[in-house]
Amino acid sequence: MAGRRDRERGNPEAVHQDTEEHAPAAAGPEPDGPGDPGAEEEAPVEGQGPDGQRVRLSITARRVRIDPAEKRRRYIRRLEDVMRECDRIVSDPKGYEELQVKALAVLIRAVKVCYEMVTDAEVEMIEAQAEEIRRAVEERRRGGQEPPSG
């Protein structure tokens, strides 16, 4: 057994027993209190491996401060901008009927989303659809195409 230890000391891949004390992981900003949503929690775990060696694992979970009410207000503001743009396209008496129908569909979807659980993916998708319609309206106007009279 002593011969095995001697061979392992020269081997950089050999596992050696931890004999030094380690300082805790670098901590971020101090939490304001135990209920602070931005606090960090450290969960040290110590034990012994199957061969009797000391095993130490330290995991630091960092929580990010997210204010859901503020995030929702931002999404709603973005949707309101889209709704105003779509309303302008729908209300234009010289508008293109095909694009007005698309704008109305986006407007209805934006209103529905405002009353549901708003997610960034939905807001971005609605904004992209509204932008596509806005570009189509501009392209038709630049191209000199007159809306068909109905």
Of 32-36, 76-80, 93-97, minimum mean pLDDT range: 32-36
What is the pTM (predicted TM-score) of this model? 0.52
- How do the domains of the chain map onto residue ranges? 68-142
Most trustworthy range by pLDDT among 11-15, 22-26, 27-31: 11-15
Residue 138 phi, psi (nearest 5): -65, -40
- Greatest mean pLDDT range, 22-36, 48-62, 104-118: 104-118
Give the alpha-carbon dihedral of 104, 108, 109, 114, to 10 degrees: 140
Q: How far apart are CA 37 and CA 52, in angstroms?
A: 39
Local confidence band at 11 (pLDDT 50, 70, 90 cut-offs): low
Over the stretch 123-136, which tens digit does the pLDDT of each residue have? 999 999 999 999 99
Burial of 34 (0-12, 13-18, 19+ CB in 10 A): exposed
CA-CA distance, 64 to 38, in Å (whole number)? 5
pLDDT-derived band at 15, boundaries 50, 70, 90: low
Residue 39 pLDDT greater than 90, yes or no:
no
